[in-house]
């Protein structure tokens, strides 16, 4: 059988950090399936954000993220970072 990459959907939480945390707390309380636990990416940069992935029953990934700087959502066009930081 051919491997098919799962779909990924992102939800940018433009609320405060507390709004993102409430979504995370609710997902844990409901014992939803986490594909990737919460973490901070691009620490101390203009692209810094907190993110986690849930996996739905059809094996699609749902990403929930909150950017520290709102301009990072669509405004930081001069930055080319994609993917994970080097550890």
CATH at 50:
3.10.180.10
Length of the chain: 87
* Bridge partners, residue 66, by sequence: 50
Indicate the pTM of the whole model. 0.70
Average pLDDT over residues 69-79: 66
pLDDT value at residue 55: 92
pLDDT value at residue 87: 40
Phi/psi of residue 39, nearest 5 degrees: -160, 165
In a domain, 81, yes or no: no
In a domain, 2, yes or no: no
State the chain's mean pLDDT as an integer: 78
What residues make up the domain containing 63?
8-35+43-72
β-strand 8-12 against 61-67: which pairing, if any?
Answer: parallel
């Amino acid at each position: 059988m051919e491997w098919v990459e799962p779909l990924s959907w992102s939800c940018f939480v433009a609320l405060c950090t507390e709004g993102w945390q409430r979504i995370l707390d609710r997902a844990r309380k409901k014992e939803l399936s986490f594909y990737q636990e919460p973490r901070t990416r691009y620490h101390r940069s203009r692209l810094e954000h907190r993110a986690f992935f849930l996996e739905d029953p059809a094996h699609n990934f749902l990403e929930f993220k909150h950017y520290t700087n709102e301009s990072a959502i669509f405004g930081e066009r001069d930055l080319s970072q994609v993917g994970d930081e080097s550890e």
